[in-house]
């Protein structure tokens, strides 16, 4: 398959709207997490139903990446900032200076084109606005390529964690956010 051609301005990052099609988001998550499922892993995002997607998307700030094509906005990426879960999270997530993201996915046909970077930039900026100095995530320990992806973007290993709904140990990674962004500007 050839790489689709589009301009960065063709991709819009925005908050989830009540009218956004949840089944489309679920399908995107299943496609994006299919590689982990093929490894024998059971990530929630790779197998959740539409009701779980709806619940998760509305438990925090869900951002979508949309690509305009034939006068239709296609959902090509998603990230969930500050998900509130019923299950207790890892100790690192409990720190007041830490915020987190989850349910991060980009359509496999469009990975490597900057969409994921735009989504990460959005939640990093949002975490700074909320006063966090660290932005953390949970990822499947066996997915070495995914860990490399995050490490290239400044995320580092913090601890291991076992979620009750997965069949693997997760790594908790975190990135120190630019402290200058949390300081009031001079003269303001």
Give the Cα separation of 35 and 32 in Å (integer): 7
Give the Cα separation of 143 and 159 in Å (integer): 16
DSSP strand pairing (98-106 vs 134-140): parallel
pLDDT tens figures, 76-92: 999 999 998 877 789 99
Domain boundaries, given as residue ranges, for the chain: 9-180
Instruction: Decide: helix, strand or coil at residue 54.
Output: helix
Burial class (CB in 10 A: 0-12, 13-18, 19+), 185: exposed
Pick the CATH number of 9-180 from 3.90.180.10, 3.40.630.30, 1.10.645.10, 3.30.70.2340: 3.40.630.30
pLDDT at 9: 57
pLDDT at 45: 95
pLDDT in tens, the chain (188 residues): 444 555 555 889 999 999 999 999 999 999 999 999 999 999 999 999 999 999 999 999 999 999 987 778 899 999 999 998 877 789 999 999 999 999 999 999 999 999 999 999 999 999 999 999 999 999 999 999 999 999 999 999 999 999 999 999 999 999 999 854 444 433 33
- Strands (E) in the chain, as ranges, are 11-15, 61-69, 72-81, 98-106, 134-140, 156-161, 170-176
């Amino acid at each position: 398959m050839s790489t689709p051609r589009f301009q960065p301005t063709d991709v819009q990052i925005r908050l989830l709207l009540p009218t956004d099609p949840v089944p489309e988001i679920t399908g995107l998550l299943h496609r994006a997490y299919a590689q982990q499922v093929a490894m024998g892993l059971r990530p929630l995002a790779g197998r959740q139903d539409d009701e779980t997607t709806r619940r998760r998307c509305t438990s925090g700030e869900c951002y979508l990446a949309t690509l305009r094509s034939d006068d239709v906005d296609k959902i090509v990426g998603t990230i969930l900032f500050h998900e509130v879960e019923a299950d207790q999270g890892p100790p690192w997530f409990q720190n007041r200076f830490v915020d987190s993201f989850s349910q991060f996915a980009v359509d496999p046909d469009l990975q490597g084109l900057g969409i994921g970077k735009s989504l990460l930039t959005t939640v990093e900026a949002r975490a700074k606005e909320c006063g966090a100095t660290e932005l953390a995530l949970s990822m499947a320990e066996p997915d070495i390529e995914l860990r490399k992806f995050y490490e290239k973007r400044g995320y580092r290993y913090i601890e291991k964690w076992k979620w009750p709904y997965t069949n693997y140990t997760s790594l908790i990674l975190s990135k120190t956010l630019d402290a200058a962004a949390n300081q009031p500007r001079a003269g303001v």
